[in-house]
Structure 1
Amino acid sequence: MKNFKSLLPFLLMLFVWAGCDTDDLRNDVDELKNRVESLEAQVSAINDNMNAIRVILDGSKTISSYTSENGTYTLTLSDGSTIALTQGSEGQIVMPDITINENGQWVLNGEVIGQATGNSGITPKFNISTDKYWQVSFDGGKTYEDVLDENDNKVAATTEGNVSVSDAFFKDVKVEGDMLKVTLKDDQSYSLPIVADLKANIVDPTTGFKDGVWTIGYGETVTTEVEISGDNYFVTVPAGGWTATLSEVKEGKATLTVTAPAQASTLSRATADNSTELVLQVNKGINWAIDKIKVEAKTVIASYKALYDAGQTLNIGGVEISKEKYGEATLVDADKTLTDKSEAYGVFFVNPGVTLTYNITGESSRRMIVIGNSDLGNTACFKLAQRLQTNQTSNPEDIDGHFVWQNVVFDASSLTQGCMVAYTAEQRSVVFDKCEIKLPKGKNLFEVTNNGRYVKNFVMQNCKVKVEANSNMLQLGDNNTSDKFEMLKVVNNVFYAETPLTNVKLYNGQNSKIASIELSNNTFVNLQSTTSGYFYGTVTSSIICQNNLIYCTNVSANQVIFRLKDNDTAKLSGSCLKNIIYKDGTLNWQLFYGGKMPVTGGESAEILTENPFTGGTFDLSTGTFVPNATYAEYGAKFE
């Protein structure tokens, strides 16, 4: 655990200051290192054991083979995966009391903490905090909370001094005939069959598979490989029009062919949510091996360019894009770099896995429309190797002044300046839809520096934005007093930083005016705004702010979402309802600066005392944040 290791340099300094002998110092450091590594190994073994007992309880797999060494069993399962199971030894850890009750629920120190069996079962994961107390996670190690005893006191993880205690998770582990039998410390016994040559494994599909879900277009037929070994095998599918077949097994492999329903299922939501698994079952004698994969049917576009060429109008963030209007488009099916502005004036469809790079120095673009060509994986990339200067020109055509990106990774991470800058007075639209946006560290997404320049409509929807350092999405210079900004629309996005940042804004234009703003169903993680707000400027017509979720710890100052200059007491149209904020400490976080409510019928944001992601998903490494069922209506939701 890196938290323990991070103590070593500090302790080393203390030893030096104390004037320790070099050999004593080395011995002390080695002893501490060994102790830390021992604790890490023991915690790792406990978590492996938790995973192993969940597999045994699930009963959908068998053991194909196993090895045993120094009290640790390494099990190869019927789906090809491996797990480790350790009986335990004398060690330094004081084990929390973990059992399973008659209802198939985990019981931790006498308290039920979750279901252990069935489809809703979870696998708790344990950790030791820097102050050596037990912590437990219910979301795979993304967030942890303290383990408490019956008096609500934190539970110590280690003993004082050199006292050794048993860290054994199991009372007994042994192989009896063709069964692996484990006995917990409360004498409950569970077993898993050992069956050679029994295998059921659905290989992860190469197309349409993401975050554990296989997405297939309505009426589409797709395939993946399966690995099968046994006497008999078959596949079952969800209700609602799904079909699946298996080819003949050759050398332990077969082809699984799946066809999605021709249209959306008419099942109730409850039924549909419980019927999304495709199941492969293989038996050998009386034993069965099972593997599952989640499937979903949705409208999937295999080629947006084909729709464009067929005359269909694509509406992206209010911008209508059609062949009739824009002419022939370019299909980018291999990596391509634009080096001259004449090349950049067009509509580009970029295939999955392909990168279109903008490397035009000191020139301006009249328009830029880039669309990921397929819904089957958001892996098309638009890379900025140079800052893009937007230039509608003084005599624009109707198709000029639109800068649109959809369904691409927008990668500007290598820049040392802002991503885009307005070069002339009016830019009609800047739109990001279904994009993953990688910003340059500490630099802005779009800048309007000179007075009189503006963007009529700035739209960001269905995007994920990782922020590396304090920066702004739309930055206006202090001398920009334009009143021609019409709309800022920020809907269904995730904005996040891996560590808390202290000053991040969506719109920073304190001396400008904008007609309307919509801020709905966004998730903000680790982004503080200060009292100048996520939005700093003047709104003249309406504000919609609803169903946003803000999560921030280590809050360093009072915060607001809106800092409205010049109209703090005005009454605007719109609605400001159902916004939630989870924070730590006593510092304030308000919807509007000063606690004012300029929108008729609005309400203050709700400050939460419980973490909305406990029991949900909170993953800073991927930017995946799904609140628990209580707060499911808040924040961004991606299909």
Structure 2
Amino acid sequence: MKYIKSYILFFLMVFAVTGCTTDDLKDDVNGLKDRVTLIEEQVKLLNDNLAVIAYILDPQNKTISEVKNVTDNGEVTQKKIVLSDGTELTLTIGKPGTINEPEVTVGEDKMWYINGEPTGVIAIGEPGKNGEGYPEFRVQDGDWQVRFGDGEWKPVTGGENVADGSLGDQFFVKAEVVDDNFVVTMTDGTVHTLPIVADLACAIDKTDITLDAEGFWVIEKGARVEVPVKITGENPQVTYPQGWRATLSELETADDKGNNYKLYIYAPAAAIKTMNTRAAANNTSDITVQVQKGSLWAVDKIKVKTPKELNTNEERYNDGQTIRVGGLEITRELYGDVKAVPADGKLTEGGVYFISESGKRLTYSLGISGVESLVILPNTEEVSDIKLIITSQIYFTNTLAFQNVNLNNSIENQYPLRAKGTVGKITLDNCKVNNLSIGKGLMILDVASTDHLVSFEMRNSEIKIEQSGAGMNIMFNMDCDLLTFENNIVYYSGDVPKTQEYANHMTNFKVFSGQNKIIKELIMNSNTFVDVESTGTSGVTGLVWASSIGKVTFNKNLYWQSYPATQFIKPAPITTTVLLRGIPKKEDYVAEGSSNYGYNGNATMKTFQLCFGSERPATMTELIVVKDMFVTFDKSTGTFIPKDEYKAYGAQR
């Protein structure tokens, strides 16, 4: 928005509800009879003419390139004013109308007044307060509202219950082209003569540039960027802030928009300490392109800056930036202000916590009241081994997101995580999960028949199972839109004796257990599974067991069984271990799967299959059984390093 300089007389700012009578505006534009449409047209007319007045009072080195007439049934009703930077303004000339517009004036204190009420925004002598500029109006729910620049819309005092009437203009008596000038006569009799310079133009093409909320083009340090410019005239020049560099280069051929120059901008490689001079202070952000013809200049500008020096996640979060945890976006707008980390580590509420101390110990014991969201993230990359002791189930309705966190379950015979509702999301990144209960596992819904999980994502993490037995589920009895399980290590840490008895194994292990539940999309890539056996006492199931899996991607997984159990409770051996069960039997099913390897320590007694029965689509290759797999196999540290021929598969550490 533009501002009004001090050399403008105050009386030019007085916009009365009535004005001179002319025949330049038709009584009924295009036959508008509908009240709402008429008022919308009046709002547009008011704002368009205010923009013209702002240009007249403060051209800011932009010249008029062209003035075009807009006619209605042969009668000129508007002027289209094209400026040298490509901006187009619309001026409507006409007689006074009867729609009750706000009265806008400038007081002796140089502030804008609307219907006699001060706005606190300076109109004359300096830019509008906080860069807010001149007023813009709208009608909302039948009442006038005003804002300055991109500020907040506020009600106009005395602007309630906008009445319909006739469309009108209160600012201009006449606007015409006289020789090479555009001559505008105001309602108070003041005449402004503005030169028309058809072959003087300067316009930076900002079409493909994304500006931040403050109107800056944010350019990475040390980067070079380019932007097209349309220049017509003599002696083109470019100026730039201290520490930056910018050059203009003329093109051999103009592009389809008429841009005939390239502006190259070089951002500083390091932070710039601005010299304490008036010249430097006035040019800390503007890159200005200008061109002249005789004594006239056309100018266009673009504001630039490098990203802020923000060194912590908390600083970036408070700055409005997005913190990404896997595929989840964490922003202040979505999750609110940062919560202070209690000195004793006892969490008393949900929210977003940034941890600055490696090894920090937190405890959760909120009970069934639960939280909407709980986000625990390291404040910097160096922070690791954050400990979360879970002493009561974490009930949540929206989001759980943990990064660099060791989840230690201290609840016996319970799932530590419990989702309520239908928008739940869980993301675990670079986490360790310990002490899950046999017969339970990690995650369950509060009400399986009604609750729902939007996404479960686990990446770069480790699940250590220290107890032998039957039955453990990462996710149990839930519908899930997207299940992502990538680059994880899951292992039973005990010895596996060469026996058919199941008691010394971790059997009936499931990443997903929901034989009556649906997964819309499953992504499982580059995981290492050691001595967690999907087969259980109920028969042949699957590492992932659902009633239906809508889409599946299953690549580069390693599945190791030192000595799979076969006897279980049944007298007859169960001779097949399956990884996926629930894939629809149809030819057009969307599936991808390859380079999955398995090791079977009692291959003569048990076989492996990627998919249950005949479910495997043609686009997925069968699990490849090999005789060996790891060069390092250490359950005490959870270290499983594949041999060279398999190093591209399994969890990458």
State TM-score, norm by structure 2. 0.46
